[in-house]
Chain A
Amino acid sequence: MNRKIVGIGLLTVLIFAILLAGCTQSDSDQADDATNDSEENNKDELVLAFGSEPETGFDPTTGWGRYGSPLFQSTLLKRDDDLQIVNDLATDYEADGEVWTVTLRDDVTFSDGEPLTAEDVVFTFETAMDNGSVVDLNSIDKVEAVDEYTVKFTLEQPQSTFVNALVATGIVPKHAYTEDYAENPIGSGPFQLVQWDKGQQLIVEANPEYYDTEPHFKRITFLFLSEDASFAAAQAGEVDMAYIPAAFSNQEVPGMKLEAIETVDNRGIVFPFAESGKVTEDGLPIGNDVTADAAIRQAINIAVDRQALVDGVLEGYGTPAYTSVDGLPWWNPDTVVEDADMDRARELLEEAGWEDTDGDGILEKDGLKAEFSLYYLASDAIRQSLAISAADMVEPLGIKINVEGGSWDVIGQHMYSSAVLLGWGSHDPHEMYNIYGSDNAGVDYYNTGYYENETVDAYFEQALAASSEEEAIEFWKKAQWDGETGLSAQGDAAWAWLVNIDHLYLVKDNLDIGEQRIHVHGHGWPATDNIVDWKWSN
């Protein structure tokens, strides 16, 4: 009996050894091939490893191109490296109250040779409105083509942030828009699709019909790899650029440099602002009496040590966050609070009447314990670390945060009555209105805390009604903090923003990825914003 088992054991080991040897053999062969290839074609080809694949495809009317460059399509307007709005397909635009008039270039053709006209623009926006997708175009009343190269948008009411819809929406061709457009995109952008193997890779080639500066790279391959695999591919020299998580940042990869790019890809805790008692239409509870107390929210904002979170959780690759728009033109720097100040936080709580009466380490007020749940996305390690660390940081104050991990479904059940760790970050100031405006209370993941402040709402209204972005900026800033009230930690503290996460890329030493703008939310793709400017530096 025993001998038999030993025999079987030996045999298994032997077979394994042979199998393993076989595997390593073929692997190294492949690796050699790949490196040879990339060296030979170093001139105009590029291989990038990004974590996230745009699974829904490349249709701008359903959301493609919101993060990073739309690659295949081009937009009416775009933001330059300083985030100022400049013309792209448009030669001129003019806002007059509700009416926006855009004049188009007359020399643009799609990659199939057909000219791009006002008809296509009208078609794009009408399709996007009908799709009712993440692209928020609710404010449009109608879109008309005035002549072949002029489009007139009529809004329901004046809205200064409408310009962002023109920046974010790639124009699709009316004549070639079919059911499977998302998989076979045709557009007027710098690149055209060669091949898309779902779950594996995307190959694009330069579009010969492109009207603007020709991209330096003629062929770009995007590999959709997990974080570990991206890093391994970078170590093996198989990719020219890889998006990596902070955990890998302290390891050197020969021949590559680490680029840490500042972002507004932020993470913060959204508190239920309303008092409990109400329910949503679906019967989910709204509000939480503990977090409805401004003292609790402010105390948490003051007590968390944001720099420690950056150093500890993000390995130093990040910045402390105070609002959802840190560093953007419409950010109000007065919103920065002195944090990691336990004494002041304690004072605040004491003034508000919170006291530990039964000696269990948790504060009470009128029989209510300072205790609430904080939900985070279980599959996201950084959110998990931030949630646990933040909860531990405020525990000495006597505020007990029970951390709960869950899927988006689970979070959706609890997000109106419990705190949630969420992330936002966009180049569109409209986002601030989405997450703080009382009109958006309980709409999707916007304003889950049912935050409401009349003064802030009034500023939002003024900002939206402004005739241009420059004019609106003043009101966006005032909504954050006007000296007396505001949505930021100085005022109502509806959120406790924690950190902005730097986006980390391993980049070949001689690859120049240009001046990167402050990145938005999204894994990897924001770097492609200026992909047309990328080049080898020698």
Chain B
Amino acid sequence: MLSTPEEKNKQPLLNQRRRMLLTIVIALLFLLSVVLGGLFLDEGRIATNLNERNVPPSFDHLFGTDWLGRDMFTRTIMGLSLSIGVGLLGATGSALIALVLGMTAASMGRVADRVISWIIDLFLSVPHLVTLILIAFTLGGGFKGIVIGLMLTHWPSLARVVRAEVLQVRSAEYVQMSKQMGKPRWWIALHHILPHISPQILIGFMLLFPHVILHEAAVTFLGLGLSPHEPAIGIILSESMKYLSSGMWWLAFFPGLCLLIVVRTFDQIGEYLRTLIDPTRAHE
């Protein structure tokens, strides 16, 4: 875009596009530091210390300590890191299921389409927190139960988007042409359709992420997820409920706030990516 020097001076240093990119980079760095922090923080800092129980926030313990004298800052970071890990696995699994089912529905004929659409409707008709609790419970809880539960419950809406996209691309002329030239279905799917829908998948994946993390926290909060001594954010929050009435606000406040920030960051990244990649929204 050409512009006169005057106009250029009026423009802020960063245009909207650059600002978005910068935000995304900063947000990613923040998330990365949380994950790395969780991985490399010393396990010893969450060892119990019965002499320093229930200490309010200070410089030694930024987020205070809990009723066993464990440092809440370390526990929170480890919990977030664990939650992000679980979220990553869950969202990846869900996105993969959505991709496979969406593609199959749209390109493998009528019967497949009907069956898959029916399954999508079935899953969408029940709130997925309920299905999640059911699956996690049947699998006996724990890390495995919760990850599989998350994978199996968060795909339907993304699958529907993928299916619609594929249907659209399939009717495009070059795909028709390719078909006429005798290319097999899977070849078309792989070479023509998949590249076209990858932005949708990526954005869908990013937007699933905060969802998955919140649901992981919700299920562990209810006690169906990980073992209660592990530093998962849902567990930390659920424990802190018991101590709220005795005035220990820092047990719930900081971890809750951190969860909120992390989830919001993911959400923001997803939104910006969508604005940047999705052509229909690029002008917004």
Contact = CB atoms under 8 A, between A and B. Distances in A.
A378 B220 CA distance: 12
B112 interface: no
A384 interface: yes
Interface string A388-404: 11001001000000011
Contact of A405 (B48, B140, B229): B229
A378 B228 contact: yes
Given A378-B223, A379-B223, A311 B50 contact: yes
A250 interface: yes
Contacts of A378: 223, 227-228
B246 A389 contact: no
B68 A389 contact: yes
Contacts of B245: 228, 231, 248
A521 to B, nearest CB: 22
Interface string A298-329: 00000000001101110000000000000000
A309 B48 CA distance: 11
Contacts of A379: 223
B37 interface: no
A430 B229 CA distance: 34
Contacts of B48: 312, 388-389, 392
A248 B53 CA distance: 15
A537 interface: no
Contacts of B143: none
B261 to A, nearest CB: 22
Interface string B242-253: 110110000000
Contact of B228 (A248, A308, A384): A384
A247 interface: yes
Interface residues of B, number: 17
Interface in B229-257: 229, 239, 242-243, 245-246
A385 interface: yes
A172 interface: no
Contacts, number: 49
Contact of A251 (B50, B239, B246): B246
B68 A247 contact: no
A381 interface: yes
A499 to B, nearest CB: 13
A385 B67 contact: yes
B56 interface: no
A247 B243 contact: yes
A44 B239 CA distance: 40
B260 interface: no
A405 B243 contact: no
Contacts of A384: 228-229
A406 B242 CA distance: 20
Contacts of B67: 247, 385
Given A247-B242, A385-B67, A389-B68, A404 B227 contact: yes
A392 to B, nearest CB: 5
A405 B53 CA distance: 22
Contacts of A410: 140
A388 B228 CA distance: 11
B50 A388 contact: no
A387 B246 contact: no
B69 interface: yes
B47 interface: yes
Interface in B181-231: 223, 227-229
Interface in B101-153: 140
A247 B228 CA distance: 18
A309 B246 contact: no
A437 B243 CA distance: 41
Contacts of A311: 50
B227 A406 contact: yes
Contacts of A389: 48, 50, 68
A378 B227 CA distance: 7
Interface in B140-176: 140
B246 A392 contact: no
Contacts of B223: 378-379
A381 B242 contact: yes
Interface in B19-78: 47-48, 50, 53, 67-69
A250 B69 CA distance: 17
Pick from B48, B69, B246 the residue with the most CB of A within 10 Å: B48
Contacts of A404: 227
Contacts of A309: 50
A403 B242 contact: no
Nearest to A377: B228
B53 A312 contact: yes
Given A308-B50, A378-B228, A388 B246 contact: no
Interface in A238-290: 247-248, 250-251
Contacts of A406: 227
Contacts of B229: 384, 387-388, 403, 405
Contacts of A247: 67, 242-243, 246
Nearest to A227: B242
A410 B140 CA distance: 9
A312 B227 CA distance: 22
Interface in A439-467: none
A286 to B, nearest CB: 23
Contact of B69 (A251, A312, A381, A395): A312
Contacts of A395: 47
B68 A248 contact: no
A231 B242 CA distance: 12
A296 to B, nearest CB: 20
Pick from B47, B223, B229 the residue with the most CB of A within 10 Å: B229
A248 B244 CA distance: 11
Across chains A and B, which 7 residue pairs bring their CB atoms closest together, nearest first?
A312-B50, A405-B227, A392-B48, A389-B48, A392-B47, A308-B50, A405-B228
21 contacts: A228-B242, A231-B245, A247-B67, A247-B243, A250-B246, A308-B50, A312-B50, A312-B53, A312-B68, A312-B69, A313-B50, A378-B227, A379-B223, A384-B228, A384-B229, A388-B68, A388-B229, A389-B48, A395-B47, A405-B227, A405-B228
Interface of B: 47-48, 50, 53, 67-69, 140, 223, 227-229, 239, 242-243, 245-246
